[in-house]
A and B are shown apart, each in its own frame.
Chain A
Amino acid sequence: MTKRSDDYTRTLTKYVIGFLASLALTMVAYVLVSGRLLTGDTLLLVIGGLALVQMIVQLFFFLHLADESRPRLRLVSFGFMASILVIIVAGSLWIMYHLNYNMMGQSPTEKDNYMTSQKDKGF
C-alpha cells in the first residue's frame, strides 16, 4: 500500500511540475513577442527553442516517455517519426525556398524587380 501511495504522489508531482513549467514557458514566449523584448531572427530562434523545451517537458511529465520499460518501442518509434518530420519540414522549406527564382518571403515589388532583372539577363 505504501508503494502504491508513493507512486501516486510521484505521478501527481510530475503532472503539477509539467503543468507549471508549460504554463511558464508559454507565458515567457508570449511576453517576449507581445512586449517586443527581442526582434528579428533572435526572437524567432528563442520562441522556437521555448516550444521545443516545452515539447520535451510534456513528453517527460505528461506522456511519461522516460518511464517506459524495455524494449523502448515508444521511444524508438518517436525517434523514427522525428527523423521523417525533419525531412518533410526542413526539406520542403529548403526546396521551396530555392524554387520559383527564390521568390518566397519577398514582397510583390521585390518579386517584380527580381523577375524583371532575371528577364533582362535573358533567363
Chain B
Amino acid sequence: MSAIQVAEQKLLDLKTSTGFWLYLMTDVILFASLFATYAVLHTASANGPTSREIFELPIALTETIILLTSSFTCGLALLALKQEKLRQLVIWLGITYVLGIAFLTIELTEFSNLIQAGHGWQTSAFLSAFFTLVGTHGLHIFIGLLWLLIMVVVLIKRGFTPKLKRQLGLFALFWHFLDLVWIFIFTVVYLMGVIPS
C-alpha cells in the first residue's frame, strides 16, 4: 500500500470507531432508562416474590466471572489481530464465543426457572422491570455472538482484510462495553437485591 492509502485507511478507522463509540454512548442512555425504571419499581413486587426470595448470588457471580473472562480473551484477540497472528486470533475469538454462549445459557436457564416457578414478567412491576433490564443486556450479548460468528467465518475464508480488521476492533469495543453494563446489573440488581433491609 502507498503512503496515501495507509493514511486514508487510518482516517477511515478513526471515523468508524468514533461513530461506533457514539452509538455505544446512546446505548448507555437506553440502559440508564431501564436502570432508572428498575430502581423505581424494585420494591413493587405486588403479591409476587421479592428480589430477596428469587435471586441466587452464586449463579450471578458465575455469570459475572464468565463475562469478565470473555472480555479479557476478547482483548487478547485484539492483540493477536494487531500482530496479524491468524491462528492465535481465531483461538482467542473461539474462547470468547464459547464463554459468551455459556453466559447466555446460564441466563436463559435462570429466566426459564423463574417463569416455570410462576414468577414470569406478568407477575409484578418488579419482575417486568427485571426481565426488561436483564433481557435487553442478554439480547445485546446474543447479537454480539451472532456478529462474532459471522466475522470468524469470514476471517477463516478470506483472511485479514482492512474491513474485517476494523470490524473486529469495533466488536472488541462492543464486548468490553457489555461487560461494563453487566457490572452494574450484578451490583444494582443482584447484590443490592439480596441485601436484607
Q: B159-194 toward A: CB 8 Å interface, digit per residue (1/0)? A: 000000000000001001101100110111001101
| A78 contacts across to B, CB distance below 8 A | 25
Contact of A8 among B25, B36, B82 (CB under 8 A): B82
Collect the chain B residues with CB atoms within 8 Å of residue A47's CB.
187, 191-192
Stretch at the interface among B27-35, B95-103, B109-117: B27-35
Stretch in contact with the other chain, from B1-9, B63-71, B132-140, B141-149 = B63-71
B21 contacts A by Cβ under 8 Å: yes
B176: contacting residue among A12, A58, A81, CB under 8 A: A58
**A26 to B183 alpha-carbon distance, docked (Å):** 8
> Once the chains bind, are A33 and B195 in contact (CB under 8 Å)?
yes
A26-61 vs B, CB cutoff 8 Å, 1 = contact: the mask equals: 100110011000010001100110110011001100
Known: A63-B173, A84-B29. A77 touches B21 (CB 8 A): yes
- B35: chain A residues at CB < 8 Å are 89
DSSP majority for the B interface? helix
- In terms of DSSP, what is the predominant structure of the interface of chain A? helix
B192 touches A44 (CB 8 A): yes
Report the Cα distance A50→B72, complex, angstroms: 19
Chain B residues with Cβ below 8 Å from A34 are 57
- Give how many B residues have a beta carbon under 8 Å from the other chain's beta carbons: 43
Query: Which among A11, A26, A44, A80 is the interface contact of B65 at CB below 8 angstroms?
Result: A26
Interchain CA distance A15-B22 in the complex, whole Å: 23
A73 and B180: CB pair below 8 A? no
* CA–CA, A119 and B23, complex, Å: 49
Cβ < 8 Å to B, chain A residues 94-122: 96, 104-106
Q: What 0/1 readout, one digit per residue, does chain B (34-48) give for beta carbons within 8 Å of chain A?
A: 011101100100000
Query: Residues of A at under 8 Å CB distance from B?
Result: 8, 11-12, 15, 18-19, 22-23, 26, 29-30, 33-34, 39, 43-44, 47-48, 50-51, 54-55, 58-59, 62-63, 73-74, 77-78, 80-81, 84-85, 88-89, 91-93, 96, 104-106
